[in-house]
């Protein structure tokens, strides 16, 4: 079976908690150890840089996708296996999503939330069934989970919304859950022949 491509959405900043950068590096190593391909935003800063450098150093192929207007700010990492420059953010997200078998959201800011909500919405309306994971290092995503539960309780989303994503408390749990979710699924590479 061809190995999976994992889309990682995460911060272009390191955040104030060093545990987030450590988790990003650890997950990058997991991607390589599993023989998976990293699909991410092509930045060499923040958690994006951490996960990419760790994955590449450990031997993982990497597809980076960056919009032209962020090449400077996110320090486009041009030593990737594949480096794609898009016109805008919408195209970036689409290319990343279309080239992945699963989505993992590490801690991040408004951009990471935008990316998460887009793939979550697509899942909610039946456009895809790719597994979506939130890496909840030190409970980072707990306020988001509370908000999503509130949205459901207030009648603005179906009760099954929480079933469209999975929370992993640490990298070990994420690795196990992701491997389980991908087991037996046809990968993007297989679908393309």
pLDDT digits (tens, 9 = 90+) for 53-76: 999 999 999 999 999 988 777 787
Helix, strand, coil % over all residues of the chain, rounded to 5:
50, 15, 35
Domain boundaries, the chain: 7-188
Determine phi and psi for 106, rounding to 5 degrees.
-85, 170
In 106-174, the DSSP E strands lie at 132-135, 166-168
pLDDT of residue 192: 63
pLDDT given at position 1: 41
pLDDT at 73 (0 to 100) = 73
Give the pLDDT confidence score for residue 184 in this predicted structure. Answer: 79
CB 97 within 8 A of CB 103: yes
Share of the chain above pLDDT 70, in %: 96
How distant, in Å, are the alpha carbons of 10, 45, 53, 101, 180 from that of 15?
A: 11, 11, 17, 27, 29
This prediction has a pTM of 0.94
Mean pLDDT of the chain, nearest integer = 93
For residues 146 and 118, the answer to whether their CB atoms sit within 8 Å is no
Judged by average pLDDT, the poorest of 35-44, 59-68, 183-192 is 183-192
pLDDT, average across residues 89-114: 96
Query: DSSP state, 11?
Result: -
Q: How confident is the model at residue 135 (pLDDT cuts 50, 70, 90)?
A: very high
Mean pLDDT across the stretch 12-26? 97
Q: Distance (Å, rounded) from C-alpha 50 to C-alpha 48? A: 5
pLDDT at site 80: 85
Task: Considering the domain delimited by 7-188, tell me its CATH architecture.
Answer: 3-Layer(aba) Sandwich (3.40)
Q: Which of 55, 46, 54 is nearest to 5 (CA)?
A: 55
Please classify residue 14 by burial: count the beta carbons closer than 10 Å to its beta carbon, then call 0-12 exposed, 13-18 middle and 19+ buried: middle
């Amino acid at each position: 079976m061809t190995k999976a491509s994992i889309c990682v959405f995460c911060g272009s900043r390191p955040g104030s908690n060093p545990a987030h950068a450590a988790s990003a590096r650890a997950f990058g190593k997991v991607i390589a150890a599993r023989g998976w391909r990293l699909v991410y935003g092509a930045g060499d800063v923040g958690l994006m840089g951490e996960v990419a450098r760790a994955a590449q150093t450990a031997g993982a192929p990497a597809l980076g996708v960056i919009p032209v207007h962020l090449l400077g700010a996110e320090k486009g990492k041009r030593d990737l296996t594949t480096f794609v420059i898009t016109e805008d953010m919408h195209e970036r997200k689409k290319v990343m999503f279309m080239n992945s078998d699963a989505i993992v959201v590490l801690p991040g800011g408004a951009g990471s939330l935008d990316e998460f909500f887009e793939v979550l919405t697509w899942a909610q309306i039946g456009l895809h069934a790719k597994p979506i994971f939130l890496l909840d290092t030190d409970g980072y995503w707990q306020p988001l989970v509370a908000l999503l539960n509130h949205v459901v309780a207030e009648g603005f989303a179906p009760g099954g919304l929480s079933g469209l994503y999975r929370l992993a408390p640490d990298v070990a749990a994420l690795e196990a859950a992701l491997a389980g979710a991908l087991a037996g699924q046809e990968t993007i590479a297989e679908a393309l022949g």
